[in-house]
Amino acid sequence: MNAAPGRPAAPFPALRADQPAGPGAVRPRGPRARRLARAALAAAAATSLSLGAGLPAAQAATTPRWRVFHTIPAANSVLDDVTAVSASDAWAGGSTPAQAPVLYHWDGRRWLTVPRPGTAGWFASSVSASAPGNVWAAISNGDAVDHWNGRAWTRTSFGAPSGTLISGVVTVSPRDTWAFSYDESTQRETAHHFNGRSWSSGPLPASVDGGGEAGLVSASSAADIWTFGSAHGAWVTTHYDGRSWRNVPLPAGLVPAGQELLPERIVAQSPGDAWATLLSVSSAGAGPAVLLHWNGTRWARATRGIPAAALLGPVASDGQGGLWLSAETPAYAPYLAHYRNGHWTRVTVPAAAQGAVSVASLALIPGTRTLWGVGAVAAGGFGTTKGAAILAYGH
């Protein structure tokens, strides 16, 4: 997610600087495989089920609209995250059919692959950028983050590849970047801060985790950063106010007993305005929808007009005080939802020529009402795709 520039106080003593990352063993993480499996189920449901009642369907002739802007037709290509700096500068991250991280850049005319150093890791799980020369990518199933300065890539490693997992990365300016790593041997999460010259590190009071790898960290400024995670056996959010990190609990009783609840995405818009999505499912089907709002003091569940649905995670500002979200009916039929002032509108997810698209991430282009979206074109098998797709709204 993009964020406004700023600079917090130095949070930790300086410990280390950039260093090359060598190859190492990689291990798949469960949430992504789960998401791809659910995408296959949703694609099958979309071919046989109507979207049902409860939400007004958007008119096909409504302008602007969502459409498939670009496809990557190679089987098992996946796009996990997207971020935008401007109308002529955006980035998407994912993996190639050979299970190697890949990054794509939008230059205002075309989406092009940008070669990056090495092949450590399986996929670029999250991307964050504040300027054309300040782009970061978290390399999941690896130990590193990659940085693009407008001319070349550099890599920062945070531990041994065999025991370190990158949980996310977010940047608010060239002098303020945060990366999060999990040490499998100590089972501890560490927050790493880059001030433009060197890195400093310190413990985080929760483990950054959730239902998907992208969107677990978001910032509106250097003094307003959120993560989703777990602490002492409970799901929590963790907030940085420019001085320190502290855990903020979620409301109790969000779903009935027997429901599985997984934190998915978080989007910070200002110190008094943040949104979070959680996925709830049970043997009876998907849902209920769980959307939380931060008002500067506490998290509260949005209940007005809440649809009979489940939120899959992806969420982004619509540029006019509302949100775009990815959702599915209780019967697992996917759709895009627009939420504003308690009112929900449902929009069909556009399909690619190769098949149904499962939305993995959404991003607003700053200063506009235009968005990018990315996802996989499901093939129907567990963890497989027919390719990847880039969606556009308002282009």
State the total domains in the chain: 1
**Tens digit of pLDDT for each residue in 274-288?**
999 999 888 877 888
Asked whether the beta carbons of 334 and 42 are under 8 A apart, the reply is yes
DSSP 187: T
Distances (CA, A) of 347 to 64, 68, 78, 286, 353: 12, 14, 23, 18, 19
Asked whether the beta carbons of 232 and 14 are under 8 A apart, the reply is no
In a domain, 111, yes or no: yes
Expressed as residue numbers, the domain containing 337 is 32-393
CATH number at residue 181: 2.130.10.10
In a domain, 3, yes or no: no
- In this prediction the pTM is 0.86
Amino acid at 59: Q
pLDDT score at 298: 97
What is the rounded average pLDDT of the residues 114-132? 83
In a domain, 21, yes or no: no
In a domain, 350, yes or no: yes
In a domain, 13, yes or no: no
* pLDDT for residue 139 is more than 90: no
**Tens digit of pLDDT for each residue in 269-321?**
999 999 999 998 888 778 889 999 999 999 999 999 999 999 999 999 999 99
Amino acid at 179: A
pLDDT score at 384: 77
Tokens linked to 382: 């567990």
In a domain, 26, yes or no: no
In a domain, 241, yes or no: yes
In a domain, 102, yes or no: yes
Burial class (CB in 10 A: 0-12, 13-18, 19+), 84: buried
pLDDT score at 189: 94
